[in-house]
Structure 1
Amino acid sequence: MNTSTATDNSLWIRRFQPRPDSTVRLVCLPHAGGSASFYLPVARAMPDFADVLCVQYPGRQDRRSEPLIDNIPELADHVFTALLPWADRPLAFFGHSMGASVAFEVARRFEREKGIVAAALFASGRRAPSAHRRESVHLLDDRGLIDEVKSLSGTDTQLLGDDEVLRMVLPAIRADYRAAETYAPEPGEPLHCPLLAMVGSDDPKVTVPEAAAWAGHTEGPFALRVFSQGHFYLVRDQAEVIQAMSDRLRTSLAA
């Protein structure tokens, strides 16, 4: 496969640290309001056996002029299609917050459409699809939405104080919240891949039991890791998160 062609042909996939000799591709899907660049540190820190592919949703950064997508199934359809040229070796998926829901749906599509079972699914900072909550942050006015994002520390608060930047990022944040909060997974068979759920002990968006409920969404090995801090625990605990993912991938690849 010509990896440069695959990159050029897809606005969806960013490959910050190419590792052409890798044995697995780790696909990283951002949180609501997030972008592919959030995972640049992960791309740099993962061991050489993992080629990190970072997803860029439309409506942000260099894709800010493109129409927004405000539902998980459509996002998953696009990501699935964009990843097909990269499926020449095992795929693993890491998604944080909304990204975990997208990752789950993309993994489902690979199993259902291609018979490809993921090397692993890493669901971070997100309750299981079966652990439903009624939420309506996406219906708040701009000030309410900004306060929500600030409370999670998911976006630089200095940027949120810049009116010009706000005009650019708020529509994408709102669309992402709408996608996450209206997500209702279709009934279907559980996955067959290893699944590691990770959560911050003080996360206001997901409780430990809600994260543990991911166990019901795979017939493969399941584990739960609880970190201290809140929703964006993975920024402070990056080394531990990468170690946990690396260990799981090594075990999966050796099986």
Structure 2
Amino acid sequence: MENNSLNLLCLPYAGGSENIYINWKKEIVNGVNIIPIELSGRGKRMQDPLYNNLDEALEDIYRKSCEYLTDSPFAIVGHSMGSILAYELAKKLLKDDKKVPEFIIFSGKNPPHVKLGTNYHQLPNDEMLQKLQKLGGINPEFSKYPELLSLFLPIIRSDFKLVETYEHIPSIPFDHDIYVMHGANDTITSGSSLKEWDNYTNSNCFYKEIEGDHFFIDSNLKDVIDYVNNVCGKYLVYF
């Protein structure tokens, strides 16, 4: 990687893999390297064990990210569960006196101190699927394919366990800018709680509403990429 480029580490939502960000590579502004982080137990890491808790996930993500943190400036983006992982990764880097990101984009998630308030990971398979379908992330037709369900359900259950049992430990605010994307029709994020992202940085916190439900990151890719390109462009001029 060239020193005048920006590495953008991309963390997926619950049940997702690095494929979420494949199309970003085609549309991202010149000078930005899209680095999707594949989580354990899915995609090309299907043979690796799923995480038992968030600490395991964080250590794994940290190891997978290290090679992209030294030669080039970097930033982090995460959607939903990925926002929690992005936040905890940035905290770990700050605590360990490593390089810190130029900025973070948190997407589809209330601030870490706001509990999700669900127990999807404890529900029977059919009930959990119904809940997820209401969020907009799963096509009802998916339930007709038991082979796919047998692969997907353990992943989504494990991921929701990470998010639903997550305990936020407050730390000092970041000194870099943060950006918050949220869906106009997202039932998970709420206006009053969303604004509390302001408390997580001593710098600027910017908000961007995008048309769509919780999975606007997939359904409204153009607006998402336009915004991400705009954000990245503000920093590329300094490298």
State the TM-score, normalizing by the size of structure 2.
0.92
Distance change >3 Å, CA 115–CA 59, structure 1 → 2: closer
2:143 maps to 1:160: yes
CA contact (8 A) 2:210 2:223 kept: no
Give the fraction of aligned pairs with identical amino acids, expressed as a percent. 24
SS in 2 for 1:224: strand
Q: Tell whether the 8 Å contact from 2:79 to 2:107 is kept in structure 1 after alignment.
A: yes
Question: 2:65 aligns to what?
Answer: 83
**Structure 1 match to 2:56:** 74
Work out the CA distance in 1 between the residues paired with 2:192 and 2:237. Answer: 30
Residues 1-255 of structure 1 aligned to structure 2 (within 5 Å): 23-87=5-69, 88-254=71-237
After TM superposition, the runs of 4+ consecutive aligned structure 1 residues lying more than 4 A away are 19-22
Gaps of 5+ in 1: 1-18
- Give the Cα separation in 1 of the matches to 2:140 and 2:3: 39
More off after superposition, 182-191 vs 155-164: 155-164
**Maintained 8 Å contact 2:81/2:109:** yes
Structure-2 change in CA distance of 1:73 and 1:214 (3 Å) = farther
Instruction: Find the residue that maps to 1:48 and give its secondary structure.
Output: coil
Checking the alignment, whether the CA contact within 8 Å between 2:3 and 2:73 is kept in structure 1 is no
Secondary structure at 1:114 match in 2: coil
Amino acid at match of 1:113: D
Q: Residue 111 and residue 253 in structure 1: after superposition, are their counterparts in 2 closer, same or farther (change >3 A)?
A: farther
User: How many residues were matched structurally?
Assistant: 237
Runs of 5+ in structure 2 lacking a partner?
none
Task: Give me the whole-angstrom Cα distance separating, in 2, the residues matched to 1:41 and 1:210.
Answer: 31
Q: How far 1:253 moved relative to its partner? A: 4.1
Cα root mean square deviation, aligned:
1.8
Q: Which one-letter code corresponds to 2:32 in the other structure?
A: A
1:122 CA displacement: 0.6
Deviations 1:183-209 (A, max 9, x none): 112221112221000111211111122
What SS does the corresponding residue of 1:199 show, helix, strand or coil? Answer: strand
SS at match of 1:216: helix
Q: Is the 8 A contact 1:22 1:50 kept in 2?
A: no
For 1:141 and 1:211, the matched residues in 2 are separated by 30
1:52 positional shift: 0.4
Letter in 2 for 1:35: S
Label 1:160 to 1:178 Cα distance change in 2 as closer, same or farther (>3 A).
Answer: same
Q: TM-score, normalised by structure 1?
A: 0.86
Mapped to 1, the partners of 2:9 and 2:195 lie a distance apart of 22
